[in-house]
A = this chain, B = another copy of it.
Amino acid sequence: MAELTHMIDSEVFLAFSTYATIVVLKMMLMSPMTGYFRITRKAFANQEDTSLASSTGDKKKLVRVDPDVERVRRCHQNDLENIIPFVVIGLLYTLTGPDLSTALLHFRVFVGSRLFHTVAYILPLPQPSRAVTFLIGLVTTSSMASRVLMTALYL
Q: What residues make up the interface of A, taking CB atoms closer than 8 Å to B?
A: 1-8, 10-11, 13-15, 17-18, 20-22, 24-25, 27-28, 30-32, 45-46, 48-49, 51-52, 71, 74, 76, 80-82, 84-85, 87-89, 92, 95-97, 124-128, 130-131, 134, 138, 141-142, 145, 148-149, 151-155
Could you tell me the distance between the alpha carbons of A155 and B18 in the complex, rounded to whole angstroms? 7
- Specify which chain B residues have a CB less than 8 angstroms from the CB of A45 in the assembled complex: 74
Alpha-carbon distance between A117 and B64 when the two chains are bound, in angstroms: 22
Q: How far is the CA of A46 from the CA of B149 in the complex (A)?
A: 35
| Identical copies of this chain, number | 3
List, sorted by A's number, 6 A–B pairs whose CB atoms are closer than 8 Å: A3-B7, A5-B97, A20-B92, A21-B145, A22-B149, A48-B124
Q: Which residues of B contact A131 (CB under 8 A)?
A: 52
Q: Is B154's CB under 8 angstroms from A28's CB?
A: no
Contact call A52/B8, Cβ cutoff below 8 A: no
**Given the known A-B contacts A74-B45, A81-B80, are A3 and B1 also in contact in the complex, defined by CB atoms under 8 Å?**
no
Closest 3 CB pairs of A and B: A14-B154, A3-B3, A17-B152
